Structure 1
Amino acid sequence: MYRPSSKSLLRAASTASNAARPFRGAKLRNHARGLATVTDTPVRRYGGLKDQDRIFTNAYCRHDHGIKGAQSRGDWHKTKEILLKGDAWIIQTIKDSGLRGRGGAGFPSGLKWSFMNKPNWQADKRPRYLVINADEGEPGTCKDREILRGDPHKLIEGCLVAGRAMNASAAYIYIRGEFYQEASHVQQAINEAYAAGFLGRNACGSGYDFDVYVHRGAGAYICGEETALIESIEGKQGKPRLKPPFPADVGLFGCPTTVANVETVAVAPTICRRGSAWFAGFGRARNEGTKLYCIIGHVNNPCVVEEEMSIPLKELIERHCGGVRGGWDNLLGIIPGGSSVPVIPKDVCAEVLMDYDSLKDAQTGLGTGAVIVMDKSTDIVSAIARFADFYKHESCGQCTPCREGTTWMKKMMDRMVEGRAHEREIDMLVENDSVSTT
């Protein structure tokens, strides 16, 4: 029987690609003698976001999360002016900002929102809905929870602005069932917004009618999938729908619907107020803006922090978490985007940037921005086995590759943990994963 060591399995599963190194462009410079030489362009160092540029300033709920505290931090400022500029202006501003979905997929938000406004959409008399996915169930992820708890008015105002962009009549905020305090804070924020005239008929005095509702989940991870979430709101079992039709055509209650992440929607009002160029000034091209990162595991100070996109992973950990427990040399590997993305080894971690493209080149992903740090005391086999157990338990059982594949992956990982596995089962796991994701 063969039991691979933690380090050998990690290195077998992760490829330290040279493509993961930050891109450095080059340009030709003409010498006085007519010769061309190659010089590196200055490399910009990302990170070190200034406090005045942070969008989420009450992430730890240290200040008043009510409407007075929110207004003191800039929320609900000139919201009426934003609404009066109309749907086309809002969508174009979001497109120009480069904002991409913060829930994991990274789809361009402005483009996604524009799907609701097809040509001659006014002829369709069905109601239109915005659904907020606050069913944060990915292991290691807790960024949206801090928004719901500490900055709920940013989300409510974001619903209003995004709803106006899509010409929606209402928003449904689907909150994970375990988030009791968070749901209470969101409901309080909704009540305060109605009382202040920011929601309901003639929202903010703009002539636009918009309502916001809270729907509590029941703890099912599968309801984080957008169509399963819609099914759950409708009172059905939370199982994904077949697509097409897509939610923008047939969504909640059979009406046009867009499902968006909490963080994605919450940043929209600030982008509209401060301008798309301001937001696009952070991060690299195609990876613009700021991002909430939740950093957990073997670091000295686990935290949730807002930083610039494209900040080096090593700098993110050392700047905000006091470094890896026992020092950087004690690092084994890092999961950079929640449990659903691959582990990357130490040598890649030292070079990779925290954005969509750099992590994709490193054969992993940004995901939700949940950074799970593992030092050399970690049994990587046992850690992955725990994730396998989670996905087996949370599979809704609707599709055969997931229902059967997660069960067999769990069995193989258990054999590895117990020392009863064969070396060839590593390749079987990789093959099983490729089948499950196609």
Structure 2
Amino acid sequence: MTDTASGPLAGIKVLDLSRVLAGPWSSQILGDLGAEVIKVEQPGQGDDTRRWGPPFLEDGSRDSAYYLCANRNKRSIAVDLANPEGAELIRQLAAQSDIVVENFRVGGLAKYGLDYASLSATNPGLIYCSITGFGQDGPYRDRGGYDFLIQGMSGLMSVTGRADGEPGGGPMKVGIPISDLVTGLYAAISMLAALENRHRTGLGQHIDCALLDTQVSLLANQASNYLNGGLMPRRLGNEHPNTVPYQDFACADGDVLVALGNDRQFRAFTALIGLPDLPDDPRFVDNAGRNRHRKELQDAMRPAIARWQSADLIAAMEAAKLPGGKVNEIPEILADPQIAARGLIHRLSRSDGTEVSVLGYPAKLSRTPVDYRRAPPRSGEDTAEVLAERLGLTEEQIARLKTDGIVAETL
């Protein structure tokens, strides 16, 4: 069946040659916004992440939960790009597409005639997004890039984790593949910008997204502290390098998060915990002083906070309109009434009736809301449908392509 999207990108055709996470994450965003996304997979193998488990779905596909997080609102076709006839099918699909997304190694698609230069020659309005570890140029261009490596190389792990010398101190990666995910976000933003430019000029363009570039750009205040103030960023655990106090504290029955962003909040919080005179101490009168004397401040605050029950302190902070909370386990936040009220979790049915749960698109568009049309597909399940619908191939032609191993249907 054809897409019946009503979102802001309805009618935009995306050909997704990417796999794993950064590319699929970007194309899922476009699909959520209404674009028709065709995911191209290798016959007999499919996207690598289909086997990144456990856990796996207990159905015929045995697809992993990991794969399900980044592939809704897509149709899947399985085509052998290394076969000249398979590459020709992809060229024909690209000629009808608005956007191509790929994450092959630099130059990897040129030998199949599927690079930007080849495809844009017949489709000058094509927007072609390449996602790699290190970009299309520079001394590292030929290296493979993986999220864990990028987190370390970018400097992110040097500011993540407990401080050296503390129990458990040392570099630590973020608990989600943040470099992949944010590169996917930047790729989606860039493709939308290129679409807007094409509306004015009629011309597409090549977008070069690199995981390392993205992650370095996200160093944000930490990099600015160094570039503009000479401050050497370091690991501080749950503390903030600039704002104090902005960290976790131990109550009698567990930890609470205290995130105070200005002097007024600091004065109100210290009064709440029974230390109303603390802000009058010359060391703590402003944030700069609290930053210089953070250990002394923590030593003064910890005994007062330790007398509280965590739920009572969080409730008191909420009543005083002070930012605070608890560290949730993932099951707790997924069951939180705020998440339910925001409608962030969706149940979708796959073509065989298997239900899967997905986390939805987080922004609310008042006039063109996101819709959830398709569960993450089984590998190649839409091959015949797409080839017939988009390229006009007959059943006999498709059957021959299957027999020759050029295309395949569901694994």
Q: TM-score, normalised by structure 2?
A: 0.23
Q: TM-score, normalised by structure 1?
A: 0.22
